[in-house]
Structure 1
Amino acid sequence: MHEMDLCESIRDVLEDHARRHDLRAIRRVRLEIGRLAGVEVEALRFGFDVVMRGSVAEGATLEIIDLPGRAWCFDCGVEVEIAGRLDDCPRCGGARLRPTGGDEMRVKDLEAA
């Protein structure tokens, strides 16, 4: 389950941020996760609570901001929203799409004490 690895990376980012800014505790973390990122959100939620134990973010609330998948359609020449990488264009039905967004995951912001 790569979500545990993701949580460990998030913990490292939070710990580093806390050290650099002299934070005692992180109370809330907001993550942006694109629909094309391949992240199982419920597994990430579970892993977050487990991995954050004993860290500056122990007990922190995790908020997930769902970002849509986006792709450029070569057939109709517009950027469209897609739910999956293999989706056809919702506008024209074309199958020649190049993903342009929705594969990212990042810490958007956090609330600290």
Structure 2
Amino acid sequence: MPWWFWVLLWIALIALSLLLHVTLGYRLFRKFMATVHDLGDAGKRFSNFAPGGETSDVEAPVNTAEPGSAIFASPEQMRHDYLTAKAFRQEVRRQKRVQRKAERGQPQSLHDIEFR
């Protein structure tokens, strides 16, 4: 085979390789831009929420302490605050459980029924 055939063959192989890399790069760029666009839409959608976090049907305890105030509080006060918050969280979970079982038509647990 003549020498110019090898030169043409290598030029064609390099050109096809470059074409493949450019095509893959273009597809990757398009997917990246679509992801950035979706991320921007999600940011706009979720920026409308209140910064306070989750809201629930149950009232939160009114006496919320400032961050760092536990250092200067008495152990009895901290124990009381901890037990109060723990009881509040348990009550919220119980109410959600009762509501979920009522929606599904499942029987209620005797522990969840209020005897008041």
Same fold (TM > 0.5)? no
> TM-score with structure 1 length normalisation?
0.18
**Greater relative contact order, per chain length (Cα 8 Å cut-off, separation 6+):** 1
Asked which structure has the greater CA Rg, the reply is 2
Structure ranking higher in strand proportion: 1
